[in-house]
Amino acid sequence: MSRDYVNFGFDEADVIVSVGYELQEFDPVRINPGGDKRILHLSRFPAEVDAHYDVEVGVQADLSRTLDALAAATGRRFGMGTSGARIRRLLSDELARGAGDDSFPLKPQRVVSDTRAALDRSDIVLVDTGAVKMWMARLYPTYESNTCLFSNGLSTMGFALPGAIGARLAVPGRRVLAAVGDGAFLMNSQEIETAIRERVPLTVLIWQDDAYGLIRWKMELELGYDIEVGFSNPDFVAYAESFGARGFAVSSAADLLPALNEALACDAVSVIACPVDYAENVRLTNDLGQLSGPF
């Protein structure tokens, strides 16, 4: 995003500690527009620099040991502060508004809110590449490590379903949800058969917009229109049932949370098809571009 709530934290910072950061992942002008921040670069690789990423100190070493050493050498501890609390409140308020939005197809904020409500704090959600990734990364609250997993960097589309099988095998006591776009789901949907054959219970939540939603979002922002990003989908309920999985179709906003609760509670493989209104994408970008601070 050109702007988002977390940017306000960078606006007020005089020092930025970056860990494992690479320029191609995120333009540093977003976090250091004036080029005036002092930057501590921690990575296994030397820093690439530019006008907005002029490294004050670079440490090329094992990240875990470096962070432990940095923590041990730091005597002062800072709380979240007033601005941090306000930033978090902005995020929680957006999620709360989504929870009360009963429109159909569902707004992304509503899908994130219901997903959080259905999962326990230690349950695991794997989020695939696409517009679903943008919304979950922005809004999904996490309380324990390794409970919300993304494929970042290479952004391997289609990883969430096979990844969910691996997560459930690694920690069989936790419930596992794969949050996928319809495009990503169709790339590896055959892994439903693997999960059923190997008796690995999990739930797949399909954010369905009948398009490559993130590519459409980018095209609309950069070109003002989109080209050849739409496609047709099968009947996902019938498709899931053809493998022997359980299928759920969301036909109203009120359907999603009960479907998630039922699917997660059963010892089976379940697929939930949820239509999503991605008109919110460009609206979000426009709204965020007008933000100037949390105060």
Structure tokens at 10: 């960078």
Taking CA atoms, 262 is separated from 50, 119, 202, 269, in Å, by 51, 12, 12, 11
Amino acid 83: pLDDT: 67
Grouping H, G, I as helix, E, B as strand and the rest as coil, residue 12 is helix
Q: Whole-prediction pTM value? A: 0.84
State the CATH number of the domain containing residue 21.
3.40.50.1220
Structure tokens at 293: 């601070």
State how far the Cα of 33 lies from the Cα of 13, in Å rounded to an integer. 12
φ, ψ of residue 38 to 5 degrees: the values are -85, 125
Residues 133 and 262 in one domain: yes
Amino acid 76: pLDDT: 79
Q: Which residue is listed with tokens 């019938």?
A: 238
For residue 218, the Cα-to-chain-centroid distance in whole angstroms is 17
- Residue burial 147-165, b: 16+ Cβ < 10 Å; e: rest: bbbbbeeeeebbbbbbbbb
Amino acid 82: pLDDT: 65
Give the structural domain span for 254.
94-284
Amino acid 108: pLDDT: 95
Structure tokens at 37: 């921040």
State the CATH number of the domain containing residue 116.
3.40.50.970
Q: Which residue is listed with tokens 């009360």?
A: 100
Residues 67 and 158 in one domain: no
Closest CA to 258 of 128, 148, 117: 117
Asked if residue 176 belongs to a domain, the reply is: yes
Residues 102 and 222 in one domain: yes
* ∠ Cα 184 124 137 (to 5°): 60
Grouping H, G, I as helix, E, B as strand and the rest as coil, residue 165 is helix
**Contact 140/125 with Cβ under 8 angstroms?**
yes
Grouping H, G, I as helix, E, B as strand and the rest as coil, residue 196 is helix
Asked if residue 250 belongs to a domain, the reply is: yes
Burial of 91 (0-12, 13-18, 19+ CB in 10 A): middle
Q: In angstroms, how far is the first alpha carbon of the chain from the final one? A: 20
State how far the Cα of 278 lies from the Cα of 161, in Å rounded to an integer. 22
In order along the chain (295 residues), what is the average pLDDT of each group of 10 residues?
72 89 83 92 92 94 94 79 75 90 96 97 96 91 95 87 98 96 95 97 96 83 85 96 98 98 97 93 70 52
Amino acid 85: pLDDT: 79
Per the structure, the count of domains in the chain is: 2
Amino acid 220: pLDDT: 83
Strand order across the 38-43 sheet: 15-19, 38-43, 55-60
- Which DSSP category does 99 fall into? H
Residues 56 and 163 in one domain: no
Amino acid 290: pLDDT: 59
Pairing label, strands 176-181, 124-127: parallel
Q: Which of 27, 54, 78 is the last residue of a domain?
A: 78
